[in-house]
Chain A
Amino acid sequence: MPEMTMVEAIRLAMDEELARDERVFIVGEDVGRRGGVFRATQGLFAKYGEKRVIDSPLAELSIVGVGIGAALYGLRPICEIQFADFIHPAFNQIVSEAAKMCYRSGGEWTVPLVIRAPYGGGIGGGLYHSQSLEAFFAHVPGLKVVIPSTPQDARGLLKSAVRDPNPVLFFEPKKGYRLIRGPVTEDEGLVPIGPAHVTREGSDLSLFAYGMMHHYALQAAEIVSGEGIRAEVVDLRTLYPPDRATIVASVRKTGKALIVHEDNLTGGYGAEIAAILADEAFTDLDAPVRRLCGPDIPAVPFSHPLQDWFMPNPNKIAQAMRELAAY
């Protein structure tokens, strides 16, 4: 079983889908000759040519708009937004057009579109290269929102996204592009969109996370395991639609929940998990549902000390776990 990085697994998935289905094509800024700013599409231009790996103008609205049009005509576009921070010009296309097409045409038309966008902080990217935007889109029925945290899941979920008949937002934790290495199976390796994954079993409290924070959660669980705190860690993987059954089942077992994300606290995705638990697991709770999130400030700061202050990390998570375990 080969080992590879996140970005290599993502490249492999696109390569496999381009080879499997001639309707698949990639469009985005610098994805062609340059191979993408993170080299996610490196080599694909040479292999599949300029008609299937298309360098777009610097205009996100048109990248997604072109994708929607092509998808309606039967193609399978993969749109790359260079940084999730730049997705806002395409917000209207995604929310008003792509998400609603199936519904408003009574199922006659669908938009089989994938939008890939690197997201997240901790990379010294400052205000406009660090944003986490999943909460905006995880509010929109008609979209699917996926965030992988391992190479195997990244490949399998991206391939499922390409084959999904409806639009999928595929946020990639860019700090983990080269930091996270892992085995990737040599089979088809499809990972279904929807189910969360319990990556560590425990009985004292449940930790919910995704993307880079899932790795930090695992590290934190390891730190406190030496202190006798047995944490269960759940990698959410698909944020919308949420996997209510797995989330609730975990808290039924542990009675306590800590949700970690780097996006801002207020109105963040963790609020939805907390609400699900309050609604469906109330009589199983032994402590308040806690969230450890980025603070409510407008952006991830550029200054390194301030960035560290902003970002959750394994020690901060471990401390929150200790407090929750002692409650």
Chain B
Amino acid sequence: MATRVMMPQLGESVVEGTVTKWLRAEGEGIREFEPLVEINTDKVDTEVPSPASGTVLKVYVSEGQTVRAGTLLAMIGQPGEVVIDPAPEATSAVQAAVEPSQAHTGRVPAQTTDATPVRDLGFISPVVAKLAAEHKLDLAQVRGTGAGGRITKKDVLAHLERPRASAAPDVPAWERPGEGDLFRPTELQFGQAMAIEVARGPEARPLVPGMLVPHTPMRRQIAEHMLRSVRTAAHVTTVMEADMSAVVAHRHANKDLFEREGISLTFTAYFVAASAAALRAHPLVNSTWGEEGVQLQRPVHIGLAVSLGEEGLIVPVLRDAEQKSLRRLAAEVSDLARRARARQLTPEEVRGGTFTITNHGVGGSLFATPIISQPQSAILGVGAIQKRAVVVGDAIAIRPMVYLSLTFDHRLLDGASADAFLATIVATLEKGAF
């Protein structure tokens, strides 16, 4: 019997994905766990490994097509095996009828013979544990419908009450509980360790001189985007420095207060607040170049570049930043950064930025010439905050200083307007009124 390949659900709110590339064509052979297809949900990209060894019998979804999670993508099996045709939506009844009769002649399904990887069952609540013990139930057989795929009491009861032999014909085979592994997100299907490996790609492998590091989807996307931006916009970078004394004092005075509410007050929050204020004062910077004119954006959505190590970076977007208090900004900055590193961002959270901040100072960089995230018109680079000797009045003082690099698109902003914008950020930071 042929094995189905389904579109996995790549996150809690991700309900669909796009097939970007088939790595095996129909008729080609493949081994279990070998990458079969690349799929993409905005910035969350992954490869779907083959659930079985065999031949790609049939591909149902062509490259570029977007389908819902749980949709049948392909069938893997032995050459000559009968596969479902035509479109998968219309075949539930056909499939239910065809499969049992083939079970004794065809190949035994891979998911029951091969050593099934241990599934991460997630949190088991006290009542679920009790019910499982009472009914001597293997929880791995129960399909979880709770938050994050958790197995709920209802799921256990439904599992216990489900019809034993054949499921109702109107339920597609892949919707039935008990054989649900394939239809769960990849990271759940193959356990957490596998998920990390899949997500992190080359980072997990040691880099040996001479080896070829294959591109991950994220790396390809970064490369494509950066080149496109450089080709599109007329990049100019301007640099100013800001005296961070007021910010440092404000942060010192409020850090513990925020901490008590569970909010980590980072410097980034101040740069977001200052940028939001400046974007409101200089609407031309919060805009997009178009053939007909410059489209000013209504909301101020600020992207924050978060490094994921060698794998690349991701830019979660802090929405409506100009309407939010420092407290709220600080809370959202830490939340977005934490979830970005944990790969828990939803596609909506990495879309729609109107301006971007990159904090290259964390690595010690003083100033940089960042590349604009298209279709925005500017990006702010924040350098390392360092104590430096500066002239204040006619005296030399020690002050915490930072270089701020603004790369802007010279098509729509000129030096004067870009500098005025950057000067507003500097003034806001130096005034320290948050």
User: Which of A's residues lie within 8 Å of B, judged by CB?
Assistant: 204, 255, 282-287, 326-327
Contacts and interface: CB of A to CB of B under 8 A. Distances in A.
B102 interface: no
Q: SS class of chain B's interface: helix, strand, loop or mixed?
A: helix
Contact of A285 (B126, B146, B150): B126
A62 B127 CA distance: 52
Contacts of A327: 146-147, 150, 152
B130 A284 contact: yes
Contacts of B128: 286
A286 B147 contact: no
Contacts of A204: 154
B126 A326 contact: no
B146 A283 contact: no
Given A255-B153, A327-B152, A283 B147 contact: no
Given A255-B153, A286-B125, 18 more contacts: A204-B154, A255-B125, A282-B126, A283-B126, A283-B127, A283-B129, A283-B130, A284-B127, A284-B130, A285-B126, A285-B127, A286-B127, A286-B128, A286-B153, A326-B146, A326-B147, A327-B146, A327-B147
A286 B129 CA distance: 9
A286 B131 CA distance: 11
A285 B125 CA distance: 7
The 3 closest A-B pairs by CB, nearest first: A286-B153, A255-B153, A286-B127
9 contacts: A204-B154, A255-B127, A283-B130, A284-B130, A286-B125, A287-B125, A326-B146, A326-B147, A327-B150
Interface in B84-137: 125-130
B411 to A, nearest CB: 45
Q: SS class of chain A's interface: helix, strand, loop or mixed?
A: loop
Contacts of B125: 255, 285-287
Nearest to B147: A327
A111 to B, nearest CB: 43
A315 B253 CA distance: 38
A99 to B, nearest CB: 36
A280 to B, nearest CB: 12
Contacts of B146: 326-327
B145 to A, nearest CB: 9
Interface of B: 125-130, 146-147, 150, 152-154
B296 to A, nearest CB: 32
Contacts of B127: 255, 283-286
A71 B154 CA distance: 53
B227 to A, nearest CB: 43
B126 A284 contact: yes
A147 B129 CA distance: 37
Select the residue from A284, A286, A287, A326 with max chain B CB neighbours within 10 A. A286
A304 B73 CA distance: 55
Nearest to A285: B126
A229 to B, nearest CB: 11
Contacts of A282: 126
Contacts of B154: 204
Contacts of A286: 125-128, 152-153
Nearest to A252: B127
B281 to A, nearest CB: 29
A204 B153 CA distance: 10
B123 to A, nearest CB: 10
Contacts of B147: 326-327
Nearest to A323: B147
A204 B152 CA distance: 11
A159 to B, nearest CB: 40
Nearest to A284: B127
Contacts of B152: 286, 327
B139 to A, nearest CB: 13
B153 to A, nearest CB: 4
A283 B147 CA distance: 20
Nearest to A287: B125
A327 B148 CA distance: 9
A113 B177 CA distance: 60
B49 to A, nearest CB: 30
Contacts of A287: 125
A255 B150 CA distance: 15
A283 B125 CA distance: 8
Contacts of A255: 125, 127, 153
A264 to B, nearest CB: 17
A285 B154 CA distance: 12
A286 B146 CA distance: 10
B143 to A, nearest CB: 16
Nearest to A282: B126
A261 B127 CA distance: 26
A32 to B, nearest CB: 50
A202 to B, nearest CB: 13
A268 to B, nearest CB: 20
A144 B21 CA distance: 71
Contacts of B129: 283
A282 B125 CA distance: 10
A107 B128 CA distance: 47
A284 B157 CA distance: 13
Nearest to B146: A327
Contacts of B126: 282-286
A9 B125 CA distance: 45
A64 to B, nearest CB: 39
Nearest to B130: A283
Nearest to A254: B153
A326 B154 CA distance: 11
A22 B125 CA distance: 57
Contacts of A283: 126-127, 129-130
A255 B153 CA distance: 7
A309 to B, nearest CB: 16
A284 B127 CA distance: 4
